[in-house]
Structure 1
Amino acid sequence: MEEGEAAKVDILKNTLYDTVIQHGSNTRLFTQSDLLDLDIIPHRNLQLLLQVIQALTNDKLLVGVTGGQGGLAWKYRSREDAKKYTSLPDETTMLVYQAIDEAGNDGIWKRTIENRVNISDAVMKVCIKILEQRGYIASMRSVEQPNRKMYIRADLRPSHRATGGPWFTDGQLDGSFIETLEGVVFEFIKGRGAYHQAPGAGSGGATRIPKRGVVTAAPTVTAGTKRSAKEITSDDVTPAATPGRPVAVASPASAAAAKSARKPEMFLPMPAGYKGYPTIHDITEFIHQLGITSNTTLGENDIRQLVEVLIFDGLIEPIKVGKRRGFRALRPTKQSTIPYNIRAKEMQNGIGLHLPHTGVLPPTNGLTEAPCGRCPVFDLCEEGGTVSPSTCVYFMEWLGLEEKKKEGDGVAEVKVEAGSDGKGSAPP
């Protein structure tokens, strides 16, 4: 190629490359016709276009790939990335880096690179060492194949598919984090979809019960007039327990004195027409504002996964509110009135509230409340056997006789030990 023609190709090469960047992303494929339609090559000279493409390919600025219909196409590579390729010492190292580059943020297995480039393990180790020393690649672990050594470009962050997303830590499922976040999400949904009835509500208690959807009596409103959903939603009701808000618990003395004159402390469902049920967007914003996921970023899709788990567990249900899809807790009267953060802290300190992390008591009936309905050795139970009703430890615990038996045994032992004549006589 003559000097003047080489200079012309160099000018057209830079112009065509800049134009390609302006007309698409680095994932768009440009066919031969697409490059000619950019009106950079004079007179649509096909031979000149091939020379320009070859120059760009040699500089690693264009990458040839197979097009959608089997034809040849090209996509561009940034100048920074192209500089990495041209700085490598040999073609084999370039091919290894290219295989890692094309794998993206999913990473690629070492054995896959060897088979694709067709090199031995010894050569592969040399190429990997060069690329790691220059900071071009990094090793990674995939939750799908934890025993395989994977490689990824050093400037990329592994995908959720490779790391397992925010629910995995160091390649292991973080059950504690998931359980904690489920409890927080559940408390928020409960707090927005139920109101708290404090002890004594309805008979001097401080909690204000939401107004019903129908006005039964009012000086200026005809009885039976239905209130609008907006009025119900804007009611200033006491919210349900939320993280950080302690719930007042009456003292044993006052509880015993007023037990017959007041309603128990519980959560009750909102009236019909209420529109304040939280959506996925509302829950996501709440989690971000709470700041409990500072080490990771949770998107709406991640929160949706948690909500779907709560739905599957039968703890919440979706509800249509206009064009929005909100969520509310099921069985509000069976839920703990103690906020999740306080309940979790007390359980960690060994106080033992014996409640699940969501604070919802399991469904019960007459059979499951009795020991026989959930006895692990029911089939072995018979009079005269190793397990029998008369010696059932589960019945003793259920009837509250276990502690009394221990106290009685303790008294008997004291009587025996107190005797000075060795016959077990009681002390005076």
Structure 2
Amino acid sequence: MGKKQWIIWGAAAVAALVVIAAVWSVVADRGGTASEEAEPGEVASAELLYGIDKGQYIIEEGEVESGQTLSTIFARYGIGPVVVDRVARAAEEVFPLRNMRAGHAYTAFLRADSTRALEHFAYEKSLTDFVVISLDGDSVRVTSGSKEVRVERRRCTATISSSLWNCMVDNDLSPALAMDLSDIFAWTIDFFGLQEGDGFTVVYDERYVDSVSVGVGRIWGAIFNHAGKSYYAIPFKQGTKITYWDEQGNSLRKNLLKAPLKFSRISSRFSRSRLHPVLKIRRPHYGVDYAAPSGTPVHAVADGVVVYKGYKGGNGNMVKIKHAGGLMSGYLHLRGYAKGLVSGKRVAQGDLIGYVGSTGISTGPHLDFRLWRNGQPIDPLKVPSEPTEPISAENRADFDMIRQLVLAELNGASADSARVVTQLDSLDVYRAVPVASAGEEK
């Protein structure tokens, strides 16, 4: 090798060593180590937090305290009102800063140098959704995003000893599952009359961010055993919406809800002669009293039109709704009304109309719920409620197919993913799947 070639080779080697030293210097500054398995030219993947390379920053995490605002949080990092005002204007269309709530987590991304200047600020709107405020000199950028959600399919069986809510706690199940089951069976099961020994089996999707449950997704089938009878819930899409049906193909949705509110107890029933708890005289009580905490949401039991909203003596704040078939419903002793509720407004079954209170003549928070047919009071607990339109003839074969697949999974007959219903928009994928035999549907 000639002298000139040795000089060129030596210069190249020195340059390579300089580059390697620079790379190791950057790695050391970031507190990391170089991967021994990295291939030449391969770039190490960044660890992202809210879409930001956290390795470039000093991270500080906190929680919004009661009465705290973005202005007071930013003041900790030397950011004054002028910048906060600029952020507020930039955030208005993405996430108004007035919607920040105590107890929600936030993360500050500080520049990893002597200035420790705030460059990004992430606020968690919910367990899954967040907003990021980015500061770069006079520039402000506000973006929103969502965490990656993992869905895990679960099959659970539980027996009730006291209440549906306590059953969820006892079996380490999501409280949201109780809400969803009560919604699905709201027309068929009296959740105020659950008995010890009642129980259910349910197949559903549970949603996770990392290892933390963030709620319940679709319920893919349920069997609820109540008072010695089994009630089925089979999901099926007829028309544009997925709803639930019994094993015969009758809709679980009835023309009248069992009750206008959730998770209470009946403190007084319909009576022609009841001793009034306040007046201490006997007189008719043409309603059902549901004891519930003040502020509990109250919902319309059927589609209809609001014909009265206001204060009415001993009945307190009251709403009356006119329904089809000569039916009228009344909601008494309300603390307040749903926003926008006015006389003449049309409401749908399940719409929020007000909140449990103790207005008028009342011994404590409760809802006095009443029904009239053609002007005559009737016992709300004895009113038959007819189901809405059943599965149509043209959908019967597809429904029977989905029903068999759902019941097979509920009964634990198969863990084969090909026999699991995961969507109902296109059923072709299931038509070639062998369904459970009668022996599998126990």
TM-score band (shorter)?
under 0.3
Larger radius of gyration: 1
Which is richer in strand?
Answer: 2
Q: TM-score, normalised by structure 2?
A: 0.25
